[in-house]
Amino acid sequence: MCVQRKVFVTRKVPQPGIELLEGAGCNVELWDSDEAIPREELIRGISGAHALFCMLTDTIDGKVLDAAGVQAVKDGQWGKWKPMWLCGMELAQKTVGILGLGRIGFGVARRLKPFGVKKIVYHDVCRVGYADDIGASFVEFDKLLIESDVICICCNLTPQTKQRFNKSAFKKMKRHAILVNSGRGGVIKHDDLLEALTSGEIAAAGLDVTEPEPLPADHPLVHQPNCIVLPHMGSNTWDSRNSMSETTANNILSVFNDQTATGLVQ
């Protein structure tokens, strides 16, 4: 999703592409001409943009990229291509661990399968039969930490999961391991995570949820180069938000009609 993201389009293009971007919530700015965009207009338009919709004939060079706000360019790190620069880890033939194999955890695991992962392991309060549908194996929490190359947190925050990822847990993880939290911020003890990231105890972290939320702009994790923090946007799709809206409306109508609401909490 690109909600609140600016996309600059360098030429008149067929409307379906523009409608698709605008429908996703992008702020689309267009050079409204069939002719090639003047260079000064290209540089002006790319300023502050998150994406550039350009033509093969447009000259996209260092000056244009400088004008875009790309972080590596801002920091003076961008230059000629280097074979070992900004390299990450593939999921192929890796072990993925999932804490919490409920609907969300199962959905994450199912989507990861096509990437050629070697094995999926999970830990939860109990074994679940539907794990067999994706070939996921139940393991104890310590084994999940020790075996996984990537760990996805997909569980609720409970007394049992609160700060489950702490100094002790990070010491058991692989040094190249990546931790992704899409569950609840309180499952991670953030001070211990920062220490693990800065010391190289684990390789990287991706946080869609934090505690507190949002993290203060000056929080060290926000500026940690091997940590990506997103603004709790796991449900930021039109399909998801439309479904949430419809569910809420249907529940109101159910109550009006003396029927049982979906997901009723006893």
pLDDT by residue for the chain (266 residues), tens only, comes to 455 678 888 888 888 888 888 888 888 888 888 888 888 888 888 777 778 888 877 787 777 766 667 555 556 665 665 565 657 788 999 999 999 999 999 999 999 999 999 999 999 999 999 999 999 999 999 999 999 999 999 999 999 999 999 999 999 999 999 999 999 999 999 999 999 999 999 999 999 999 998 888 899 999 998 999 988 877 778 888 888 788 888 887 887 788 887 776 65
Bond into 220 cis (ω within 30): no
**Cβ–Cβ < 8 Å for 262, 251:** yes
Tell me which amino acid residue 235 is: S
**Cβ–Cβ < 8 Å for 21, 1:** no
The rounded radius of gyration (Å) of the Cα atoms in the chain is 22
8-state DSSP, 188: B
**What is the total residue count of the chain?**
266
Tell me which amino acid residue 249 is: A
Three-class DSSP category at 119: strand
**Cβ–Cβ < 8 Å for 151, 144:** yes
Could you say which of 50, 176, 219, 232 is catalytic? 232
Could you give the strand order of the β-sheet that contains 119-123, starting from the edge strand earlier in sequence? 136-138, 119-123, 95-99, 150-153, 178-181, 204-207, 227-229
Report the DSSP beta bridge partners of residue 98: 122, 152
- What φ, ψ does residue 51 adopt, rounded to 5°? -150, 150
Domains and CATH numbers, the chain: 6-74 (3.40.50.720), 95-229 (3.40.50.720)
The rounded distance, in Å, linking the Cα atoms of 215 and 36 is 43
Q: What is the per-residue pLDDT for 127? A: 94
Alpha-carbon torsion 213, 214, 218, 223, what sign? Answer: positive
Report the DSSP beta bridge partners of residue 122: 98, 138
**Cβ–Cβ < 8 Å for 180, 205:** yes
Question: DSSP alpha helices (H): ranges in the chain?
Answer: 15-23, 39-46, 62-67, 71-74, 103-112, 141-147, 167-172, 190-199, 220-223, 238-256
8-state DSSP, 204: E
Three-class DSSP category at 122: strand
Tell me which amino acid residue 151 is: I
The rounded distance, in Å, linking the Cα atoms of 132 and 150 is 20
232 tagged catalytic: yes
**Cβ–Cβ < 8 Å for 137, 114:** no
pTM score, two decimals?
0.66
Q: What is the per-residue pLDDT for 1? A: 46
